[in-house]
């Protein structure tokens, strides 16, 4: 695997061979009708259709087809569940000699779709977006009495394309990067990207693959001295990166008592930082012992900020409404929606969130005594990813999604 090689667009298994696609066979159905069928199909089927014949490929690569896909997605709030192509995670089982990384395709009957994601357990995923996964080499555990924040800066970072296996090795970063990272942008089907890294003081560095280097260290200065949650993924909306934060002094054990957590939003270009308070009553609905892993930042496809909350009885989602025109200084308004009643699931254990996929609208959550579950925010469909045994421990959960629009734009017309 060449670290410098540019990833080619992933072709799902079962696609027609190029020789078959080159033959300009007349379609038995009108192209317009075939387009309607393709628009109602999953992402893998769309790519297969594009490989079937020249006229259909030309129509699928046209911007009009992408607009048709967007219209169809309104039924699922703009999300497309088929864009989630897999979930990976690490399993440590006391009955096994060694931990293993499980790579589970979605749907399960296409196991080779994630053939490119074959990663050593010496690395952990710290960000993922549109087929790319950022991997960080695991650090040695701090010695007794030493804080992880006292560790030296400069982790070993790699960026892997889940579907092609192409790997980029990044130069060393200048700050302590032991928190989760953010893929600020992914373009050209993963050939170009920007990676944002922040430390415990919200000092920020951005890596550009086009320039092949890290930018300068810059500090975001919110009006409250803030410390991002240690193991919570930041959320990217446009060029704004959002972190769940606590005040400078963390509550004991990271539990939600004492000062309320809040959101810090930072413009990656200007470093302007904004503090956004969580919805009133949001954390009071959680049990006193609930870890901050019971909070998750998410967003709608049109960029509205959401907070998913594991409450005592339900899993809820709070959506921030746009500011009132002419009154931009008013506190944000939040609308609460119940996603799941835990009683319906027969769940009385803690629920912790492991990640969110914007393309598919999927939330991965860990339910005590049950295991890993993927929940779609639009359809409310819940599927068990891994049924937990009493002797297993799950970590390093990662979602693998594709950006179908970007993939189609990189495909060339058949000659």
Q: What does the chain come to in residues?
A: 415
Q: What is the mean pLDDT of residues 150-174?
A: 86
Residue 415 lies in a domain: no
Shared domain for 240 and 192, answered yes or no, is yes
Residue 130 lies in a domain: yes
Q: What is the mean pLDDT of residues 362-376?
A: 91
- Calculate Rg over the CA atoms of the chain: 22
Q: What is the mean pLDDT of residues 160-187?
A: 92
pLDDT value at position 365? 94
Shared domain for 56 and 146, answered yes or no, is no
Q: Quote the tokens at residue 305.
A: 């900020």
Q: Quote the tokens at residue 134.
A: 């950022």
Shared domain for 37 and 102, answered yes or no, is no
- Assess whether pLDDT exceeds 60 at residue 226: yes
- Assess whether pLDDT exceeds 70 at residue 2: no
Q: Quote the tokens at residue 396.
A: 């390093």
95: Cβ–Cβ under 8 A, 6 or more apart, which residues?
A: 391
**C-alpha distances in Å from residue 361, one per residue of 73, 181, 341:** 11, 20, 19
DSSP assignments along 322-346, one per residue:
PPPTT-TTSPPPEEEEEEEEHHHHT
Domain count for the chain, please give it: 2
- Assess whether pLDDT exceeds 90 at residue 293: no
375-390 burial, b at 16+ Cβ within 10 Å, e below that, comes to: bbbbeeebeebbebee
Please report how the helices 54-61 and 43-50 are oriented relative to each other, as an axis angle in degrees rounded to 10: 130
Shared domain for 175 and 72, answered yes or no, is no
pLDDT value at position 354? 95
Residue 6 lies in a domain: no
With tokens 């799941």, the residue in question is 340
Shared domain for 91 and 131, answered yes or no, is yes
**55, 76, 97 - which closes a domain:** 76
**35, 52, 76 - which closes a domain:** 76
Q: What is the CATH number of the domain that holds 356?
A: 2.120.10.30
pLDDT value at position 21? 43
Shared domain for 105 and 130, answered yes or no, is yes
Q: What is the mean pLDDT of residues 213-229?
A: 91
- Assess whether pLDDT exceeds 90 at residue 252: no
Q: What is the mean pLDDT of residues 232-251?
A: 88
> Which range among 97-101, 350-354, 366-370 has the greatest average pLDDT?
350-354
Helix or strand run (H / E) with residue 66 = helix 63-72
**Higher local confidence (pLDDT), 363 or 142:** 363
- Assess whether pLDDT exceeds 60 at residue 14: no
With tokens 């317009």, the residue in question is 32
Shared domain for 29 and 97, answered yes or no, is no
Residue 296 lies in a domain: yes
Residue 1 lies in a domain: no
pLDDT value at position 18? 47
**59, 76, 93 - which closes a domain:** 76
Kindly indicate the confidence band of residue 344, based on its pLDDT and cuts at 50, 70 and 90: confident
Kindly indicate the confidence band of residue 185, based on its pLDDT and cuts at 50, 70 and 90: very high
The rounded distance, in Å, linking the Cα atoms of 56 and 195 is 36
Kindly indicate the confidence band of residue 57, based on its pLDDT and cuts at 50, 70 and 90: confident
Q: Which of 85, 157, 158 is nearest to 115 (CA)?
A: 85
* pLDDT, tens digit, 9 for 90 and up, residues 264-291: 999 999 999 999 999 988 888 887 656 6
Residue 12 lies in a domain: no
pLDDT value at position 292? 77
Shared domain for 65 and 101, answered yes or no, is no
Residue 34's domain spans which residues? 18-76
Q: Which of 190, 295, 191 is nearest to 246 (CA)?
A: 295
Check the CA dihedral 284-287-290-296 and report its sign. Answer: negative
Residue 191 lies in a domain: yes
The rounded distance, in Å, linking the Cα atoms of 55 and 18 is 15
Neighbours of 344 (CB within 10 A): 9
Shared domain for 216 and 347, answered yes or no, is yes
- Assess whether pLDDT exceeds 60 at residue 10: no
- Assess whether pLDDT exceeds 70 at residue 390: no
8 Å CB contact between 180 and 198: no
* pLDDT, tens digit, 9 for 90 and up, residues 106-161: 887 776 677 767 778 889 999 999 999 999 987 665 555 555 555 566 788 999 99
Q: Quote the tokens at residue 344.
A: 């319906």
Residue 129 lies in a domain: yes
- Assess whether pLDDT exceeds 80 at residue 26: no
pLDDT value at position 5? 46
202: Cβ–Cβ under 8 A, 6 or more apart, which residues?
A: 219, 220, 221, 222, 226, 228, 243, 264, 266, 273
**Higher local confidence (pLDDT), 45 or 134:** 134
Kindly indicate the confidence band of residue 3, based on its pLDDT and cuts at 50, 70 and 90: very low
Shared domain for 182 and 200, answered yes or no, is yes
Kindly indicate the confidence band of residue 103, based on its pLDDT and cuts at 50, 70 and 90: confident
Kindly indicate the confidence band of residue 1, based on its pLDDT and cuts at 50, 70 and 90: very low
Shared domain for 109 and 71, answered yes or no, is no
pLDDT value at position 213? 96
Average pLDDT value for the chain = 83
Shared domain for 356 and 342, answered yes or no, is yes
Cross-strand bridge partners of residue 309:
295, 316
Q: What is the mean pLDDT of residues 298-320?
A: 94
């Amino acid at each position: 695997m060449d670290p410098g090689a540019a990833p080619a667009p992933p072709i799902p298994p079962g696609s027609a061979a190029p020789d078959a696609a080159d033959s300009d066979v007349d379609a038995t159905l009108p192209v317009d009708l075939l387009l309607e069928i393709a628009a109602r199909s999953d992402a893998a089927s769309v790519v297969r259709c594009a490989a079937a014949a020249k006229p259909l490929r030309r129509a699928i690569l046209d911007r009009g087809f992408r607009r048709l896909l967007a219209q169809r997605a309104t039924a699922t709030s703009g999300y497309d569940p088929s864009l989630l192509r897999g979930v990976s995670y690490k399993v440590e089982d006391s009955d096994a000699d060694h931990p293993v990384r499980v790579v589970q395709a979605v749907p399960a009957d296409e196991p080779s779709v994630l053939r490119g994601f074959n990663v050593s357990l010496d690395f952990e995923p710290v960000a993922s977006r549109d087929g790319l996964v950022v991997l960080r080499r695991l650090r040695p555990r701090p010695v007794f009495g030493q804080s992880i924040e006292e560790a030296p800066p400069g982790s070993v970072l790699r960026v892997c394309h889940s579907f092609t296996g192409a790997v980029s090795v990044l130069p060393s970063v200048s700050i302590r990067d032991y928190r989760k990272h953010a893929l600020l942008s992914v373009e050209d089907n993963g050939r170009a990207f920007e990676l944002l890294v922040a430390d415990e003081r919200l000092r920020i560095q951005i890596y550009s693959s086009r320039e092949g280097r890290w930018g300068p260290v810059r500090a975001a200065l919110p009006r409250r001295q803030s410390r991002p949650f240690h193991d919570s993924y930041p959320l990217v909306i446009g060029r704004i990166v959002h972190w769940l934060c606590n005040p400078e002094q963390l509550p004991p054990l990271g539990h939600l008592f004492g000062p309320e957590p809040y959101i810090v939003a930072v413009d990656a270009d200007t470093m302007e930082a904004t503090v956004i308070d969580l919805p009133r009553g949001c954390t009071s609905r959680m049990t006193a012992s609930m870890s901050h892993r019971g909070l998750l930042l998410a967003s709608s496809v049109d960029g509205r900020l959401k907070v998913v909350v594991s409450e005592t009885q339900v899993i809820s989602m709070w959506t921030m409404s746009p500011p009132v025109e002419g009154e931009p200084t008013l506190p944000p308004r939040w609308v609460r929606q119940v996603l799941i009643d835990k009683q319906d699931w027969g769940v009385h254990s803690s629920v912790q969130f492991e990640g969110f996929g914007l393309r598919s609208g999927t939330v991965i959550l860990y339910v005590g005594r049950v295991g890993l579950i993927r929940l779609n925010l639009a359809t409310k469909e819940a599927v068990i990813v891994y049924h937990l045994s009493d002797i297993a421990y799950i970590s390093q959960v990662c979602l693998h999604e594709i950006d179908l629009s970007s993939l189609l734009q990189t495909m060339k017309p058949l000659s």
